Amino acid sequence: MFIEHLQLTNYRNYETLKLDFSPKINVFIGENAQGKTNVMESIYALAMAKSHRTSNDKELIRWEADYGKIEGVVQNRYGSFPIELSITKKGKKGKINHLEQLKLSNYIGQMNVVMFAPEDLNVVKGSPQVRRRFIDMEIGQISPVYLHELLTFQKLLKQRNHLLKINQGKQQIDDVLFAIYTEQYIQSAVQIIRKRFQFVELLQEWAEKIHSGISRGLEKLTIKYRPITGLNSSWTEKEMATYLEEKLAEVKKRELERGITLVGPHRDDLQFLVNDYDVQTYGSQGQQRTTALSLKMAEIELIKQETKEAPILLLDDVLSELDDYRQSHLLNTIQGEVQTFVTTTSVDGIHHETIQHAKMFHVKQGEIENN
């Protein structure tokens, strides 16, 4: 899979921009704050219907404009097709083959991307919220059903939290309505947890092999999904639901005191172990970077396996964060097979033939020229 053409209208610092890409490597060179990352972000947003940098869609619209638009032509094994994301202050609309999609969950997954930026190191060393976002976004690309289930879960969580909030500090709650919300919440939570367990098992298969290769066989990477409730991946849906019901009954008094739901997938986490040691706590900076790189390369392989298409890889100012060995390992893996976009202030320090044959775009003050 690759994107042939990109057109931006009123997006960030670009009033209009039209670019044609190589199906292999595309490099954007320029100083910081010139607009390189905005192009990367637009490709990501075109695929995922959201930015990787902000949750406020209004920030994507050019200053004083009423709307922003990202258009692309994507090539996959079946042929090429247009894809479009329109952003207004009221919301977003996605089109595939000029047909508006009623739900964004139907739109996502038509164009698969893997983004690797310096902030992705936070997947390893950041907060549980960052890791939950990582896992939800990646499952959503290969399973549109999951996005629908996630939206349902978030809606039910919000309803249950609202009921807890308005009864905060009370000893009792309307048990009939609360029981209905809790039962629906449990059923939805179980679907999310099961999907996450399945995804992590698949990710583990690829990441372990890749990490071993990068570390020259000296390290073994283990990825674990950690439900805060202690659920087991081998349990049936009924067993999981029963266990969650028991846990929620145990914390009901505390939930009323605090006015929030204390048990569920919105509080779960991922754990990364290298040679059985927690990388977040005990890993060196090199081990944390190798773990993050292994995750991103495993994502590529997993998406290829599940969709039968190689995703588009976005490397936003990340090559400078990797030493020569890790750079070479990444570029050797993607060479000739994965359409890749790279942003950098200079290619002088990147000694790899893949970059030497790339299509170069020079970015300066929101203007882009290519050779």
Q: Return the structure tokens found at 255.
A: 């939930």
CA atoms within 13 A of residue 315's CA, in its CB half-sphere: 28
Residue 340's beta-bridge partner residues? 25, 313
Angle at 246 between CA 244 and CA 251, to 5 degrees: 95
| Sequence-separated (6 or more) residues with CB below 8 Å from residue 136 | 146, 150
Task: Give the separation between CA 155 and CA 153, rounded to whole angstroms.
Answer: 5
- Counting Cβ atoms within 10 Å, is residue 32 exposed (0-12), middle (13-18) or buried (19+)? exposed
- Helix axis angle for 324-334 and 285-307, nearest 10°, is 0
Task: Give the Cα separation of 64 and 61 in Å (integer).
Answer: 8
**Which token pair is 219?**
């390290």
Residue 361 near residue 369 (C-beta atoms within 8 A): yes
SS (H, E, C) 45-92: HHHHCCCCCCCCHHHHECCCCCEEEEEEEEEECCEEEEEEEEEECCEE
Q: Any alpha helices (H) in 215-236, and if so which ranges?
A: none
Say if CB 140 and CB 108 are below 8 A apart.
yes
Sequential DSSP letters for 241-288:
HHHHHHHHHHTHHHHHHHTS--SSGGG-EEEEEETTEEHHHH--HHHH
Please state, in angstroms and as integers, the Cα–Cα distance from residue 22 to each residue in 301, 304, 361, 370, following that order. 21, 20, 11, 11
From the annotation, which residues make up the binding site for ATP? 30-37
**Nearest-angstrom CA–CA distance, 342 and 39:** 11
Annotated binding-site positions: 30-37
